[in-house]
């Protein structure tokens, strides 16, 4: 599994697209957090990073599928998936190795944004006047949300040998789970049941973690989506087709 993990990480970091994907995310969030007047923290009257944590999921909707689209699609297109499956690797080791590599790359992309927290921490009046518990919960939620998107992206990559198709499928499913469920739950058709349906949306679970109080129910829910995505990927890989 670790051999697959390092192979995927090395392959991503040795390619130009890897740095482009990470650069696009950091540039977009840097502009939104510090430059654009409508979202810049410098125009707020208090120290907080709501811009980063409210807009990052929407960037992740495209960033994460771009990271995961090559996980299995490239192997299928190059005919190397069959070769991997003949090696002394279980299906789970193959799936987990690729998933953990994608999740690790998401973590690498998020790490530089800690500079934003340090900057706001120092700019506060007095210094340190920021809700660190809220920031910690938001980072945990963002990392778990990235894991959910990665598990979904790896699964959609296993469905096709075309990276573009894998990317579009990943974006669609992630968008449906993050935005679509809450939108559907808001329809008058559901009545009072709409509230319970909305709780299934990833956006609701993610937002709950950003309140500064980490609830195990939110964590378990997001981890369950990761597990489901990995189970579906393993099922697809086991079909050998």
The pLDDT tens digits for 138-147 are 999 999 999 9
Domain tally, the chain: 1
Q: What are the tokens at 89?
A: 């690797």
Helix and strand element counts for the chain (H, E): 13, 0
The pLDDT tens digits for 52-82 are 899 999 999 999 999 999 888 887 787 777 6
Q: What are the tokens at 226?
A: 């990761």
Domain span at 6: 2-238
Share of the chain above pLDDT 70, in %: 95
Give Rg (Cα) of the chain.
Answer: 19
Q: State yes or no: pLDDT of 240 exceeds 70.
A: no
Cα 77–Cα 82–Cα 86 angle in degrees, nearest 5: 155
Distance in angstroms (rounded) separating the CA atoms of residues 76 and 237 = 11
DSSP code at position 42: G
Global pTM value: 0.92
Distance in angstroms (rounded) separating the CA atoms of residues 135 and 214 = 11
Alpha carbon separation from 217 to 128, 134, 185 (Å, rounded)? 30, 17, 20
């Amino acid at each position: 599994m670790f051999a697959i993990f390092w192979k995927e990480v090395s392959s991503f970091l040795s390619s130009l697209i890897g740095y482009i994907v990470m650069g696009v995310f950091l540039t977009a969030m840097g502009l939104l957090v510090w430059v654009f007047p409508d979202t810049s923290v410098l125009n707020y009257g208090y120290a907080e990073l709501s811009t980063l944590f409210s807009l990052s999921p929407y960037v992740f909707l495209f960033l994460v599928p771009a990271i995961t689209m090559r996980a299995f699609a490239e192997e299928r297109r190059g005919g190397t998936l069959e070769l991997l499956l003949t090696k002394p690797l279980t299906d789970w080791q193959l799936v987990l190795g690729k998933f953990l590599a994608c999740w690790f790359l998401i973590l690498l992309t998020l790490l530089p944004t800690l500079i934003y927290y340090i900057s706001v921490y120092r700019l506060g009046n007095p210094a340190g006047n920021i809700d660190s518990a809220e920031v910690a919960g938001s980072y945990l939620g963002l990392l778990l949300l990235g894991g959910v998107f990665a598990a979904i992206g790896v699964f959609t990559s296993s469905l096709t040998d075309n990276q573009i198709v894998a990317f579009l499928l990943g974006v669609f499913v992630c968008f449906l789970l993050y935005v679509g469920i809450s939108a559907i739950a808001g329809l008058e058709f559901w009545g009072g049941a709409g509230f319970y349906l909305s709780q299934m949306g990833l956006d609701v679970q993610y937002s709950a973690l950003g309140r500064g109080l980490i609830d195990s129910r939110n964590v378990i829910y997001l981890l369950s989506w990761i597990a489901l995505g990995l189970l579906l990927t393993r099922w697809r890989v086991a079909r050998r087709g």
